[in-house]
Amino acid sequence: MLMAALSPGPSLAQSPIGVTDIESALAGEPTVKVIVALHPVEAGVAQAGQIAQGQANLMNTVNPSDFQVTQTYQTLPALAGEVTPAGLEALRQQPDVAAIALDLPVEIADVTPGAVFIGADAVWRDFGLSGAGIRVAVLDTGVDTVHVDLAGSLVSQHCFNRTGGCLPERGTESDSAQDENGHGTHIAGIIASRGQTSPQGIAAAAELVAVRVLGPNGTGFSSDVLAGMDWVVANQAQLGVKVMNLSLGGGGYAGVCDQADANTMLYATAVQAARQAGITVFAAAGNSGQADILMAPACVSGVVAVGNVYDAPLVSMGWPTCSDQNTVAGQVACSSNSSPELDLLAPGVLIRSTNLGGGEATKSGTSMSTPHAAAVAALLLQANPNLAPADLETILEETGAPVTDSRNGRVTPRLDALAAVTRVVVGQVTPISGTVLLQGRTDHSGTRIYLSDDPCSSSVTGEPTALTNTEGRFVINASTDQHYLCLQAAKRGYLMAQQDEPKGELGIITLPGGDVVEDQVINILDLAFMAIRYRSSDPAADVNADGQVDIFDLTIAASNYNQRGPVTNWE
């Protein structure tokens, strides 16, 4: 057998390199995309001519219906096109052909398959979002502070650790979060890698606050984790963190664990403090393969607990506690913990990200799925910085694709970045605002603001959408997918104002006073109405609302004589 393996075959009968995969692809398709490499030509002045001649010879030899050329080259001896089985056989017989291969798909910026699977690449492309301006705290083994893909994102760091100490002096606390394990570096890269030597992070422009709470061997204590959470919240005024990632945990808890023991009680308190500070906390479900158990702090009610799914098919995947065979994209990993408190699923199998010491590494587990979700939260916050933790959790869960865990029949949403961002951007609340001043008054409150789906008319109906304050200011939080045709501002005794198709800040408008009969014109009828009530306290004729109908009210009306409403001169 060894001799047979080493024995050379007939040299003239050899086929061009790389045809086996093409034959397999053609078994299911009438044509496939291929690239054909011709034998190199001699360098020199005539090189371009030789390449063109070689291409032409091949195209003239093989029937165009069997090999449809889609691309020729000027400096490369090659052709690309779509080939049939007959065309493949014809190409194999050509002496000028050196190799044939399936045309390899390529992607931008070395994007990890997890980003494509959850639609993050479409978010970057279609919405231009990358997490810019959003700070994410990563509590883990630390971060490689000099990694080219992370150093520029790092804005603050700290350390709490008793299982190996904190650099540089090996004390239990320091201002250095330098990683000595690699786990935290990998997590940070999934969120915010700049993509130079490792795949681009889901929120590549986000800023990182690194807190080392685990030692060089990846272990630590809840007390260190809690100290890290406490430090972030205590310094929130300076840090401005919006998202916290906890790809760690311990124990096993069924259901909500807020009051299970001292550890979980403190985790619940820390999480509540974080949420009150505007921080959404994401935590890993755990990798022990338990279908009804989560680690702490993932089991805490205020945490977004994240489990693990495949982002691509695999023939086999072995885990310490189980193994999966013939997996499909979106399938829950057998190692991923679950319980009714599990909130999300995200990619976490064979995830490529930043490596301690530079470059990239590949890791798997719910530790990797959690930062996918945290990073998408950063994208949502860039789209709408006013989203509260409860809003983020609701959006991520409601827009996720439903996935059924075969172990327990439980349905959990799988992270969908594109759907989540689309909801925020399309359904985002955008204020319609303005200022309405009342002629002759210092208190401009009480003007009724109406929004309508119908074109403006000379009357208003229904309940007002808003009322102006003392300064005449109004702000209406309207959904950007709602297109209003008219805004009207009405106040008894004044001409009405209006604005067609109101959007954003409308500016300032002053309502002319004196329309006490409310017919949208100031004339003799208004003056007569006021004269009859002269020196009374009738509010219907008291234009300036000083408690008495007097010369000041008549003067206001007279100054606006013959003016008609609605007025539209917003400035």
d(CA 219, CA 214): 5
CA nearest neighbour of 150 among 118, 113, 187 = 187
Which one is catalytic: 140, 149, 343, 526?
140
CA nearest neighbour of 121 among 367, 480, 375 = 375
d(CA 510, CA 131): 42
To the query of whether residue 183 is one of the catalytic residues in this protein, the response is yes
Q: What are phi and psi of 527, to 5 degrees?
A: -65, -40
CA nearest neighbour of 309 among 379, 413, 396 = 413
The amino acid at 252: G
- From residue 248, give the alpha-carbon distance in Å to each of 41, 222, 224, 292, 310: 58, 10, 12, 18, 20
Q: Are 343 and 284 in contact (CB under 8 A)?
A: no
Q: Are 32 and 97 in contact (CB under 8 A)?
A: no
To the query of whether residue 367 is one of the catalytic residues in this protein, the response is yes
Long-range CB pairs of 479-482, under 8 A, 24+ apart, other chains included: 479/427, 479/428, 479/429, 479/430, 480/425, 480/426, 480/427, 480/428, 480/429, 480/430, 481/426, 481/427
Task: Give the SS3 label for residue 331.
Answer: coil
Which one is catalytic: 158, 183, 186, 444?
183
- Please report how the helices 120-127 and 417-426 are oriented relative to each other, as an axis angle in degrees rounded to 10: 30
Residue 173's Cβ-side half-sphere holds a number of Cα atoms within 13 Å equal to: 6
Task: Give the SS3 label for residue 424.
Answer: helix
| 241-246 vs 280-284, strand pairing mode | parallel
Give the count of beta carbons closer than 10 Å to the beta carbon of residue 426: 10
Q: Is 13 exposed, middle or buried (0-12, 13-18, 19+ CB in 10 A)?
A: exposed
For residue 566, cis peptide bond before it (omega within 30 degrees of 0)? yes
Which one is catalytic: 367, 369, 433, 452?
367
Terminal Cα distance for the chain, rounded: 92
Q: Are 187 and 368 in contact (CB under 8 A)?
A: yes
To the query of whether residue 147 is one of the catalytic residues in this protein, the response is no
Residue 101's Cβ-side half-sphere holds a number of Cα atoms within 13 Å equal to: 10
Q: Which two tokens stand for residue 440?
A: 């002759």
| 78-83 vs 32-38, strand pairing mode | antiparallel
- In the numeric block, the tokens 């009828």 are attached to 525
The full DSSP string for 476-543 is EEEETT----EEEEE-TEE--EEEES--SEEEEEEEPEEETT-SSB-SHHHHHHHHHTTTS--TTT-T
Task: Give the SS3 label for residue 334.
Answer: coil
CA nearest neighbour of 298 among 335, 250, 333, 331 = 250
Q: Which residues are catalytic?
A: 140, 183, 367
